[in-house]
Chains A and B, each alone.
Chain A
Amino acid sequence: MSTTLSPRPLPGSLQTNRFLNQWLSIHAEGYVTMRPGKVEIGQGILTALRQIVAEELDLDLEKIRVQTAVTALSPNEGVTSGSLSIQDSGSAFRQVAAEVRELLLSKAAAHLSESVEQLSVKNGLIRSRSGASVSYWALTDEQLLNQEATGQASPKSAEEHVVVGTAAMRMDIPAKVTGVASYVQDMSMPGMVHGRICRPPSYEAELKSVNLEPVRVMPGVISVHRDGRFLGVVAEREEQAIRAQLALTRAAQWSEVPTLPPFNPRYLLKAKAQSECISQKGQVLFSPESSVHEAEYSRQFLAHASLAPSCAIALFEKDRYTVWTHSQGIYPLRREMAVVLGVEEDQVLVHHVEGAGCYGHNGADDVALEAALLARTLPGRAVRLQWMREEEFAWEPFSSAMVAKTRATLSAQGMITHWQMDVWSHGHSSRPGRSEGSNLLASWYLEKPFKRAQTSNPPLPGGGSHRNAIPIYEFANQQINNHLVPDPPIRSSALRGLGSQTNVFAIECFMDELALQAHCDPVSFRLRHVKDERARAVIEAVALMASWQSLQPSDGVTGRGVGFARYKNGAGYMAMIAEVQLAETLQVKNIWAAVDVGQIINSDGLKNQIEGGIIQSVSFVLKEEVKYDAMRITQANWEDYPVLNFTEIPQVQIQLINRPHLPALGAGEGTQGPVAAAIANALFHLSGTRLRDMPLTRERIMAAMA
C-alpha cells in the first residue's frame, strides 16, 4: 500500500499534508468541496485555485465549492503570504485533483468493464467510447480519497488547459458589491456582545491608576476587565462599548517615557546591528577611490492601513475557544493563542473569515487574542471586537524603516565593474507562532506578561530586509551586506514585498545614476548588464509599450523613468516605466508594466493584483510615512496618514507575458520596488533633481530643488 512506501517528495503543501481527502471531497449529491489552507485576502486566490481543480477534474467551476480554512479541518498551509499561494496550494491541488481523477477513472473502468484509455470526462460524467457512462457522483464513496497522494499521476500539460489561463470571474464579487455579509466584521451570532480595548498612550506606558467603577455602571456595559495593563470593556451594543472605551481611556492615568527613535531612518546606521555578507563575487576592492560612485537611499516606516480596522469574534464555552478571524495564518495563530490562554491547541478552534485587504501582518492576529481574552470573562457569549481606526493606525505592526548605501565603479566602456550595497533595517517578520515568546500585542500587557518575540527575517533566497538586495544584474565583482537591527523601537512586521521595495528602489535608482555617468540610456544600460532572457524580455517589452526613446530629454513637462526587478530573485519579473509631472506635488500620470510570472492561471485576476500593487506602490512612494514623536505614534486617521486619492491615480497599462510551460509564480508583491524606482527616476528625468529618500513628498522635492 502507498502508506508503506517511504515518503516521496510531493508538490507544494501536499508534502506536509499528504492525504487526498484533506484537500478534496466528492459528494454523491453532485459537487466537489475543496479545502485550501490558504485564505482569501482580496487577492482572488480562491477563484484561481478553483480553476486549477476544475481543470484537472474536467468540471465546470460551478460544481466546485470552497470550504474556507478552519483549523482541525483544512490542511496546514502556514501563512498566506509572500505571493506563495499559487506555488504552495495551487501545485498541491493540481496534483491531488489529477490523482483523484485517475482514481475515479480506474473505478469507472471497472464499473463499465472498459479500459481507462476508452474513457473521457465531461463535467463529472465519465463516458466510454461504446456510449456507456457513469458520473463521479455515483462512483464516490467515503474511503476513496482516504489515502496518501502517490505523486504518480501526471497533471495535464499546458496545451490541454481550457480553464486555467482564462479570466474566470471572481466568485466572491457579486456578494461583496450587493452588501451581502462577506467579512468577519459583518458576522453576527445569537447573544453576541461587543468588546473594545482601552490602549495605553504609547508602547511602554505604565498604568498608574484607573477607576473602573464609573465605567461598570454605564448603559449597556456588561463587564470591565483589567489584567495588568490590558483594559477592556464588553457591552450589549457596539456604540455602548465605544462610549465605555472612551470613558475608560479618560479614566486611565499612565506614565510615559520617550522610547521612539528620531524621525529619520538614519538612526538605523548607528544602531547595534547583526551584520552579514549575503553575496560576494570577485574582488571588493574599489580603486582608485576617486572613481567610486556612491549614494544613500532610505524610506520611513509604512503602515498597512487596511480600510477595515481589524476585527474578530470569540466564544468561550466549556473550556474551549472558538475564534473567527481574518488572520493570514490560522494554525500559527492557534498555536500562539493557546500558549497565551494557557490551554492546549485542540481547545482552540480557529475559523478564517475574510476581512478587508491586509497587505501583510496587521492587527488581525492581535484582535483575535483580545476577543478571546474578553470572551473568557463571559462564558457562552460570543464577543465581537473591532479595533477603532485610531487603534489600527497606532498599534498595527509597521513595515520597518530602511537605509541602503550603494557604491560602484564603472569601466571606460561604461560597464559596472564593482558593486556594493549595504542594507540597514529591522526584521520584516514578527508573525505569530514563529519563535520564542509571543507576538500577540495584548500578551505583552498582561499582569503576567509574555516576552515579546524578536522580529526576524525570513531566510534567503526570499529574504526579509535583504529581499531583493542581491541584484539580478551580472557584475564581475560584488558584495552585498545586510545589517539587521533587532528589537525595533517601533513595532514592525511584514508588509507586502518586505524589504524589496527599498532594495529595488536603491538598486534601480543607482543604475540610473550610473547610466548617467556612463552617458548611456537607462534601458540600454540595464540590458547591457543582464543576460537572463526573461529579464530582458520584460525590459524590452515595457520600453516598446511606452514608446521609450533612447536618451530622449524631457520636454520640461513630463519625465519618464524605468525600474525593474525579479521579485525575490526567483519569482516574477516586472519592468515598469513611470511618467510624471510636477505641479503642487509630484503626479504620476502613467505607468506601463510588463510582467512575467510564469504560467498564468487567471489573466484578469493577475492584472487586477498587479494594477492594485502598482497603485498602492505609487501611494507608498508619494505619500506614506508613519508619524511619530519621541514618545508616541501620532497618527490616528487618514488625514494623518494620507494615501493616494481617486483624483491622483495614474493610468496603468499592463502587458502579461505568459509562460505556460513554466511554473506559476505569485504576483501580488513584485511591483513595489520597480514602481518606486521608476517614479524617482522619472522625477530626475523631468527636473534633474535626484530624491533618494522616500516618500517623495512636496516638502522633500522643494528642499532638494532649493
Chain B
Amino acid sequence: MGRVKNKITITVNGSAHEVQAEDETPLLYVLRNELNCVGVRYGCGVGQCGACTVIVDGKALQSCDLSVVAVAGKTITTIEGIGSLENPHPLQQAFIDEQAAQCGYCATGIILTAKVFLEDHPHPSQDEIKQALSGHICRCGTHQRIVRAVEQAAQKMRLTP
C-alpha cells in the first residue's frame, strides 16, 4: 500500500535481504517473521527486557526499539548467526553445560549481550557480568547459573580465541 517507499536492504547473519515491511516497522518483527530468526524474542516491545537483543555493527541493541529503516545498510547478527545446534558458540555451549535455563526465553538475548561484552572484557568478574546483563530480565530466577555460564564461556574463549 501507499506507505511503502524505497525498499530497504539489511544484512543479517552475513547475507543481504530486501525488506518487505514499512520503514518504521520495528526490526524485531522483520527478523522474526520475514527472516525466520525466531530466536529474537518479543518480551515487552519497549526496550525494557532484553529478550529481543541483536548485535548491530558490533553493538548489542534491542530490536524492538529500532525501526528497520534505522538499520538499513548495517550488519546485524542474531542468535542464529553465532552458532547452531550442531556447532554451538562457546557461550551457547556454556549455557548447556551449566544448564543455565529454566524456560530459556531470556537466554538468546542474554547470550548476544554477553558476546559483545566479553569481546571487551575477557577477564570479567561476577559483578561486571551482572552489570553487563542488567538490561535483561529473567523471570524464572536463573540468574546465578547464567552468570556462571558467562564466566565459564569467558574462560574457554580465552583459551581458544
Interface residues of A (CB under 8 A from B): 41-44, 169-170, 172-183, 185-186, 188, 219-220, 237-239, 305-309, 354-357, 359, 386, 388-389, 604-605, 608-609, 611-616, 619, 637-639, 643-647, 649, 651-652
Contact = CB atoms under 8 A, between A and B. Distances in A.
A170 B144 CA distance: 17
29 contacts: A42-B105, A44-B102, A170-B99, A173-B100, A176-B105, A176-B108, A177-B111, A178-B79, A178-B80, A178-B85, A179-B78, A179-B79, A179-B80, A188-B38, A239-B22, A305-B139, A307-B43, A307-B137, A307-B140, A357-B102, A608-B142, A609-B102, A613-B141, A615-B141, A616-B139, A616-B141, A644-B141, A644-B143, A645-B134
Interface in B19-73: 21-22, 25-26, 29, 32-33, 36-46, 48-49, 51
Question: Which one of A181, A239, A307, A651 has the greatest number of beta carbons of chain B within 10 Å?
Answer: A307
A619 B99 contact: no
Interface in B94-149: 95-96, 99-108, 111, 127, 130-131, 133-134, 136-147
Contact of B140 (A237, A309, A616): A616
Contacts of B21: 237, 239
Dominant secondary structure at the B interface: loop
**Interface range on chain B (Cβ under 8 Å from partner):** 35 or more
B126 to A, nearest CB: 9
Contacts of A608: 99, 102, 142, 145
Nearest to B89: A178
Contacts of A220: 1
A616 B142 CA distance: 9
Contacts of A613: 141
A357 B22 contact: no
Contact of B3 (A219, A308, A616, A638): A219
Given A173-B99, A174-B96, A180 B48 contact: no
B37 to A, nearest CB: 7
Contact of A219 (B22, B88, B95, B146): B22
Contacts of B101: 42, 170, 173, 176-177
A356 B41 CA distance: 11
A647 B131 contact: yes
Contacts, number: 183
Contacts of A355: 103
A220 B105 CA distance: 29
A contact patch SS: loop
Nearest to B112: A179
B92 A182 contact: no
A651 B144 contact: yes
A652 B147 CA distance: 13
A16 B135 CA distance: 47
B143 A646 contact: yes
Contact of B42 (A42, A309, A644): A309
Q: Which of A354, A359, A605, A608 has the most CB of B within 10 A?
A: A608
B95 A177 contact: yes
Given A173-B99, A604-B99, A619-B141, A646 B43 contact: no
B85 A175 contact: yes
Contacts of B103: 41-42, 176, 307-308, 354-357
Contact of A308 (B78, B79, B105, B131): B105
A219 B2 CA distance: 8
B100 to A, nearest CB: 8
A237 B26 CA distance: 12
A386 B95 CA distance: 28
B44 A389 contact: yes
B107 A237 contact: no
Nearest to B39: A179
A612 B51 contact: no
A186 B37 CA distance: 9
Given A239-B22, A308-B51, A612-B140, A181 B45 contact: no
A612 B141 contact: yes
A370 to B, nearest CB: 17
A176 B144 contact: no
Contact of B49 (A238, A638, A646, A647): A638
Given A177-B108, A179-B39, A308-B105, A614 B133 contact: no
Contact of B38 (A41, A186, A307, A604): A186
Nearest to A43: B102
Contacts of A359: 139
Contact of B107 (A177, A354, A615): A177
A328 to B, nearest CB: 13
User: What are the 9 A-B residue pairs with the smallest beta carbon separation, nearest first?
Assistant: A179-B39, A42-B103, A615-B141, A176-B104, A356-B105, A179-B79, A612-B141, A357-B103, A186-B38
B102 A307 contact: no
Nearest to B2: A219
A646 B142 CA distance: 10
Contact of B29 (A179, A239, A354): A239
A185 B96 CA distance: 22
Given A612-B102, A651-B144, A638 B137 contact: yes
A326 B100 CA distance: 22
Contacts of A619: 141
A183 B107 CA distance: 13
